[in-house]
């Protein structure tokens, strides 16, 4: 298991790394407040280093009250979080809008303040250059953003809602609606985990069976050699 000696020093006032000891076992909680507008990627280096240093035994707690901001910075956070292996606990404590909802979608466990407001929409931006360059970039971003939305929000939004967001509509949700959607996501994940566990158990049984059969043959051959 991790301990604080394995994690980077914390210089961000919004970030704390807490060592927890329970029943003789220790693990770390990376606790972070995502409250300021998501802008400079360098603002999150301490947080990302702490996330990247976690193990499967640790937890990452993120408190979100945020109106969004830079999508690329949110994507970097999303990628680090989903590949961390730690349990991700999200607390929505007010607003969770735009790019902040990308981080929200990493939750393994989530809690909503009753008065939370969630808003998902298409990103804003623009391309510059010659006509052909602008056209090429526009075509690329159209396909890229469609794939991104399906990957990140595919289990959270309906196909109709995804199409509406891609068409430029702002989608607003209250805490109850968002929580119900996450409950469905978590049930789906649990079914998938159960399926994988069962497959692993069956694979282990097959391996043990082959091992035992091979062992029996080896012992039989050994007896024949002795005779």
> What does the pLDDT profile of the chain (227 residues) look like in tens digits?
445 557 778 888 899 999 998 887 899 999 999 999 999 999 999 999 999 999 999 999 999 999 999 999 999 999 999 999 999 999 999 999 999 999 999 999 999 999 999 999 998 765 665 667 667 777 888 899 999 999 999 999 999 999 999 999 999 999 999 999 999 999 998 888 777 777 777 777 667 767 676 765 566 566 666 55
The pLDDT value recorded for residue 1 is 46
Structural tokens at position 36 = 């300021």
What is the maximum alpha-carbon separation in the chain? 88
Residue 41 CA to residue 141 CA, distance in Å, equals: 21
* Residues 121, 171 contacting (CB under 8 angstroms): yes
Q: DSSP secondary-structure letter at 38? A: B
Q: Which of 87, 19, 25, 21 is nearest to 51 (CA)?
A: 87
CB neighbours of residue 107 within 10 Å? 20
Note the pLDDT of residue 217.
58
CA distance 156 to 25: 35
Instruction: Specify the long-range contacts of residues 199-204, CB closer than 8 Å, at least 24 apart.
Output: none
Handedness of CA 24, 20, 78, 10 (dihedral sign): negative
Rounded-to-integer distance, Cα 160 and Cα 6, Å: 45
Tokens of 177: 């609606």
């Amino acid at each position: 298991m991790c301990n604080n000696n394995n994690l980077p020093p914390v210089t961000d006032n919004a970030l704390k790394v807490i060592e927890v000891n329970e029943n003789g076992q220790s693990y770390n909680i990376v606790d972070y407040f995502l409250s300021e507008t998501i802008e400079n990627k360098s603002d999150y280096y301490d947080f990302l280093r702490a996330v990247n240093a976690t193990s499967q035994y640790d937890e990452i707690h993120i408190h979100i009250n945020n109106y969004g901001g830079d999508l690329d910075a949110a994507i970097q956070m999303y990628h680090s979080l989903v590949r961390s292996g730690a349990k991700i606990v999200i607390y929505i404590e007010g607003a969770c809008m735009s790019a902040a909802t990308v981080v929200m979608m990493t939750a393994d466990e989530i809690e909503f303040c009753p008065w939370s407001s969630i808003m998902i929409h298409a990103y804003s931006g623009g391309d510059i250059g010659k006509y052909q360059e602008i056209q090429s970039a526009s075509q690329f971003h159209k396909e890229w953003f469609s794939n991104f939305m399906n990957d990140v929000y595919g289990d959270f939004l309906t196909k109709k809602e995804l199409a509406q967001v891609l068409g430029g509509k702002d989608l607003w949700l209250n805490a109850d609606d968002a929580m119900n959607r996450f409950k469905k996501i978590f049930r789906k994940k649990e079914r998938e985990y159960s399926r994988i566990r069962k497959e692993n158990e069956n694979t282990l049984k097959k391996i043990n069976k082959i091992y035992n059969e091979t062992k029996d043959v080896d012992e039989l051959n050994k007896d024949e050699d002795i005779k």
